[in-house]
Each structure stands twice: as structure tokens, then as C-alpha cells.
Amino acid sequence: MEGFSIVAVALFAFVVVTVAKGVRIIPQGEEWIVERLGKYNTTLLPGLRFIIPYLDRVAYKLVTKDIILDVQEQEVITRDNAVILTNAIAFIKVTDPVKAVYGVVDFGEAIRNLIMTTLRSICGEMDLDEALSSRDKIKARLRESIADEAVDWGLTVKSVEIQDIKPSPSMQKAMEMQASAERERKAMVTRAEGEKQAMILQAEARLESAKRDAAAQVNLAEASAEAIRRVTTAIGDNHTPMLYMLGEKYVNSLLRLGESDNAKIVVMPADLQESLAGLLRRRGG
């Protein structure tokens, strides 16, 4: 009886283990790959499923929800030999579990490396300014380039986002120096242009002033000529009034010279008396 009890317990344990190995509960959002004697047999969908114990085994458990792959930051050389740093993030989904596990060793690592390689190739065809300002263009080309490879691996690339794209620290320093030099150049051009305009305005002002001075001299000469003509007409052949006026102006000029604060010594002409006498004689005659 004791031996029979041991056999019964062992048999019961075997049945329990067998049932446990044959029953599988797959959670929602996963699909399990079952191999029978080392070869692919079937794919278990979410829910209560059964397999043949000891012959079948669950080889892979795949998540069928969207998978987020973080693509690490890397250095990329642009077409004009500038160094930029860029990283990305990819959203993929397993649509064919069999291809995903048997088509590539590690589909996550494969997609990550494919994105890095393609990103270097795309940015390498662009200049620095274009690469920094064409994030949407890079994203579209990147997704298009890896889509075919992803299908072969049983994956769907839902989206690829460029997280960051920026110049390397050394490149940033060089760009800052270039920007500073460009600002200084523009400032020098602005100052030179301002000086040029100032010189032009000064020259135009001098020219205008010279023109007005010349016009004033011409007017003054014409006025003087007209005055002389009128005096000549008024005096006619009688020179006495003219001599009297000249003498009067001569005397007034000497008086003003004598009254000046800066005048210390006034030198009188030696023939002053004779000149006045001559004027008076002519006036009296």
C-alpha cells in the first residue's frame, strides 16, 4: 500500500506539471512564439491557449504594443565639413512576430543602428545651415528610408522624431566667432557709409555756400555798378559834389578809427590839410 501511495502521488504530480506546461494565458498586448522540437509551430494570441507539453515550448514573448526606441546622440559631418550632434526617437510596432524573431537577431538594436546610419547619410548630403533648419525634411526622409527594411523584419515604423540637432561645442565656438566677426564687419561698413555720407553732405554744403557767395558777389558788383552809373548820371561834368562826398567819408573813417578801443596811435596822412584845402577850394570855386 505504501508503494502504491507513492506511485499515486508521483502520478498526480506528473499530471499537474503536465497540465501546467500545456496551459498558457497570454496577456493582452503580447504574442508568444511556440516551437515544437526546435522548429516554429504557431503563434499564441492573447487569451487562454494550450500547447503540447514536453514537445512545445514558448521560445519568444513579443510585445505588440508600440515600442519606443531611443537612438543615442552621435556626431555627423555635413557636406561643408561641419560637425553636428543629433539624436532621435523611433516609435515602432511588431506586425509580424515570426519575421521579428527569425528575420533578425535583435530587431530593436537593428532598427536603432539603421536609423543612426541613415541619419548620418542624410545629414551628410546637407550643408550646416540646411541640416539645422530642415528637421521635418530629415524626419520624412529618414522614415521613408528605413520603412522597407522594417517591413522585412516584421515591423512598422510609425514615426521617427529628431529629438535634437545642434552644432558640436567646437563648431558652436567657431560659429560664435564667425558671427562676431560678421557683426564687426557690418559695423565697420555702417560707420564707413556714415562717414561717406557726412563727407558728401559737407562737400554739398560747401558747394552750395560757394554758389551763394558767388551769387552774392555778383549781386553786390551789379549793385555797385548800378550805384556808380546813377552817381555818374547825377553828377555829370561837375566833380565838386563827388570830391566833397569822398572827403566827408575820409574824415568819418578817421573819426571812427580814432574812437576805436583798440586804437592807441592814429597816424594822420601828411597831406591831410592840403587835401581838405583843395576840396574846399574846389567847392568854393
* pLDDT tens digit sequence for 99-152: 999 988 889 899 999 999 999 899 888 888 888 888 888 888 888 888 888 888
**Partners of 63 in beta bridges:** 30
Average pLDDT over residues 160-185: 78
Q: Which of 3-12, 86-95, 118-127, 234-243 has the lowest mean pLDDT?
A: 234-243
Q: Kindly report the pTM of this predicted structure.
A: 0.57
Nearest to 138 by CA among 172, 101, 163, 175: 163
* pLDDT tens digit sequence for 45-78: 999 988 888 888 899 999 989 999 998 888 888 8
pLDDT band at 234 (very low <50, low <70, confident <90, very high): low
Q: Check residue 195 and give its pLDDT.
A: 86
Amino acid (1-letter code) at residue 211:
K
Q: Which residue has the cell 597816424?
A: 267
Cell for 113? 543602428
pLDDT > 70 fraction of the chain, expressed in percent and rounded: 79
Q: Check residue 44 and give its pLDDT.
A: 92
Distances (CA, A) of 36 to 31, 56, 59, 106: 16, 4, 9, 22
Distance CA(82)–CA(123), nearest Å, equals 10
Q: Check residue 242 and give its pLDDT.
A: 61
pLDDT band at 178 (very low <50, low <70, confident <90, very high): confident
**Partners of 69 in beta bridges:** 90
Please provide the average confidence, as pLDDT, over all residues in the chain.
Answer: 81
Where is 163: in which H helix or E strand?
strand 155-167
Average pLDDT over residues 204-230: 81
Cell for 228? 556808380
Where is 166: in which H helix or E strand?
strand 155-167
